[in-house]
Amino acid sequence: MATRTVLIAGGGYAGAGIAAKLAALDARRSFNAVILDPSEFHAVKTRLHQIAVDPERDILIRIPTRTLADFARADFINASVEEVDFKNRRIFANGSVYDWDRLVVATGAEPNYFGIPGAAENSENILSYESAMRCGLRIKSLGMNKRGASKKRIAVCGAGLLGVEFAAQLRQRYGPKKCEIAIVEKQDRIIAASQCGDAQRDYISAFFKRENIRTLTGTTISKLSPGRVWLEEGKHIDCDLTVWCGGIKRTGIGTAASSGLAVDPTLVCREHENVFGAGDSAMVSSPLPNANSLTAQRAIYHADIAAKNIIRSAIGLRSRVSRYRPKGELISLGDFDAVGIVFGAAFYGPACAAAKKANELKYLSTLFGSAINKHIV
């Protein structure tokens, strides 16, 4: 079989994972993987809240995508997709044209501002390495550790996983005498019910109360302006910095640039049989309740299924079906505390924090080839 080009648009959890998995499974080197991404770095997104608080803590959080590509025997193109020609199997990026035999859309997600006026312009988000670093530098510029510095006020918009982990990390770095933290959430509870049980939510709420983190649930943000978060009924929160953790939305390329790519349960695009979708950018046709959750865990699962199906489709084998079911969530509350549920078992405290760090290290090892599962295709 002639070597076929697998062009992977996106070098995040799904994209980098597919390249690594192809390297492990494609013993005959029948495929040439190419990762195309506008960022030079792959980010461990479950740790981005750390550099969003302290920009000097980027060890094992950012990894050069070119390094990951080298380990996966793949090529790396540092470019943004401008146009896709599905009929002739071409992608246009940064003025160049790239041909492909298989295309994987794994462009991930971006902040969702829900049309709230001023939200994008007057806040920092921490969804990518670059944006988290900008946030960390903004926080550092506030000078909260300088002797005699006045207390600063930071508003966090959104009390999902990202908002909770960021607020806890911020409090660990800057105590109540240096920083006031207010976290605003539209829903009547912190963290979605599908990601956290009542006991774990109570644990987080007790942590917030103990650490003087003000929580405003059931509160709608009407707009953001410089130094101010406007709430319903004209109320507001004055702040020195606003951090947006209020939600994310799928991205894609071509005609699906704003809504992600619709794929069947084998992760193949319904309109183009040589196009796969994986991770946050993939909208899977499935009755399973968490089939389309926007999580790193799902993206890693998709990487395994997509890589196997790319190979199986090329050699005439039946593709495997994606049946994603979350294993659970571990939620960091600073470096030494955490809470979560995995396979129905609850975890709390330092042991939970250690388990989350071990999980992240295991993920990194798979990218570098030392712990890739060598299952049959």
pLDDT in tens, the chain (377 residues): 578 999 999 999 999 999 999 999 988 889 999 999 999 999 999 999 999 999 998 887 999 999 999 999 999 999 999 999 999 999 999 999 999 999 999 999 999 999 999 999 999 999 999 999 999 999 999 999 898 899 999 999 999 999 999 999 999 999 999 999 999 999 999 998 778 889 999 999 999 999 999 999 999 999 999 999 999 888 999 999 999 999 899 998 865 556 789 999 999 998 899 999 999 999 999 999 999 999 999 999 999 999 999 999 988 999 999 999 999 999 999 999 999 999 889 999 999 999 999 999 888 888 875 333 433 34
**The pLDDT of residue 304:** 96
**The pLDDT of residue 370:** 38
**The pLDDT of residue 31:** 94
List, in order, residues 6 or more apart from 175 with CB less than 8 Å away.
none
Task: Name which of 329, 343, 256 is nearest 294 in CA terms.
Answer: 329
Instruction: Map tokens 């492909």 to a residue.
Output: 100
Contact 259, 279 (CB under 8 A): no
Classified as helix, coil or strand, 281 is helix
Task: Write the DSSP assignment of 191-214 as a string of letters.
Answer: S-TTT--HHHHHHHHHHHHHTTEE
Pick the CATH number of 124-244 from 2.40.50.220, 3.50.50.60, 3.40.50.880, 3.10.450.50: 3.50.50.60
Contact 272, 278 (CB under 8 A): no
Strands (E), 169-293: 179-184, 213-216, 221-225, 228-231, 236-238, 241-244, 248-250, 261-263, 275-277, 282-284
Distance between CA atoms of residues 214 and 217, nearest Å: 10
List, in order, residues 6 or more apart from 352 with CB less than 8 Å away.
330, 337, 338, 339, 340
Contact 278, 260 (CB under 8 A): no
Distance between CA atoms of residues 197 and 217, nearest Å: 17
**The pLDDT of residue 65:** 94
**The pLDDT of residue 10:** 96
**The pLDDT of residue 373:** 41
Distance between CA atoms of residues 91 and 99, nearest Å: 6
Instruction: Map tokens 């040589």 to a residue.
Output: 274
Contact 121, 109 (CB under 8 A): no
List, in order, residues 6 or more apart from 40 with CB less than 8 Å away.
64, 65, 66, 78
Task: State how beta strands 275-277 and 102-105 pair.
Answer: parallel
328 sits in which H/E element? strand 328-332
Distance between CA atoms of residues 105 and 301, nearest Å: 15
Distance between CA atoms of residues 71 and 74, nearest Å: 8
Number of helical H runs and strand E runs in the chain: 8, 25
Distance between CA atoms of residues 367 and 214, nearest Å: 39
**The pLDDT of residue 372:** 37
For residue 348, list its beta bridge partners.
339
As annotated, the residues of the chain forming the CATH 3.50.50.60 domain(s) are: 4-111+248-327, 124-244
Instruction: Map tokens 């405290």 to a residue.
Output: 349
Distance between CA atoms of residues 65 and 34, nearest Å: 11
Instruction: Map tokens 């798979």 to a residue.
Output: 366
**The pLDDT of residue 376:** 36
Instruction: Return the structure tokens found at 199.
Output: 């006991």
Task: Name which of 97, 51, 105 is nearest 268 in CA terms.
Answer: 105
Contact 335, 353 (CB under 8 A): yes
Instruction: State which fold the 4-111+248-327 domain adopts.
Output: FAD/NAD(P)-binding domain (3.50.50)
